[in-house]
Amino acid sequence: MSKDGTMRGGRRTRSGERPQALVDKISAGKSVKRMEIDDLPDVDLLVGGDIGEGVELEGSYFPEPSEYLSAKQKDGTILGADDIYRDVFEWLHDRGCDKLVAPRMVEAYAQNFARFVQCETALSQYGLLGKHPTTSAVMASPFVAMSQNFQKQANVIWYEIQQIVKENCSVEYTGDLNTDAMEKLLRSRKGN
């Protein structure tokens, strides 16, 4: 502890031995613990009578995205973050980790990634340079900095999601969802 009462020094973040993926631990024959989430009550406790024909129910394995993820933008286009949200939850479901990641985390990732794509689209449309509002001098486009910020935020959240999957997925996972989502969004922008 320093003279001013603040804690300094100590172990640096992300230093030391990296945690192994669950798949690697299983293949190496080590004992593993996997988070189990049991949201459903015992089937034996549910006793009901005959309901006749019943209703045709449509199942969903992930929560619906919030409305702001598909909000109409000022230029008339749709944000498209709801598509990214669904893709991420489908990717998580395929790996059996959809119950381990908070929907708000996936929403935050989807919104940041969609905003990143929106900034990149604006850069393509308006260019890298702009005119300063007061001096009329040439300046860098503000979309460059915004794009970098949104991309950084999206990457930080994506690494958190990927770490949860890595630590809890019992099968090997492949494919980078980021590249697929970016390609899909850019293709959908061309049609608008």
Q: What is the pLDDT of residue 76?
A: 87
- Greater pLDDT, 49 or 71: 71
Q: If you compute the radius of gyration of the chain from its CA atoms, what whole number of angstroms results? A: 23
Distance CA 134, CA 18 (A): 51
Q: Counting beta carbons within 10 angstroms of the beta carbon of residue 123, is it exposed (0 to 12), middle (13 to 18) or buried (19 or more)?
A: middle
Band (pLDDT 50/70/90 cuts) for residue 189 is low
Distance CA 177, CA 155 (A): 12
Contact 109, 84 (CB under 8 A): yes
Q: Could you read off the pLDDT of 113-139 as tens digits, one per residue? A: 999 999 999 999 988 888 888 998 999
Query: Is the Cα dihedral 16, 22, 26, 32 positive or negative?
Result: positive
Q: What is the pLDDT of residue 115?
A: 95
Band (pLDDT 50/70/90 cuts) for residue 27 is confident
Distance CA 118, CA 132 (A): 22
Q: What is the mean pLDDT of residues 78-83?
A: 92
- Proportion of the chain above pLDDT 70, given as a percent: 71
Q: Could you read off the pLDDT of 87-119 as tens digits, one per residue? A: 999 988 888 888 889 999 999 999 999 999 999
* For the chain, domain boundaries: 68-191
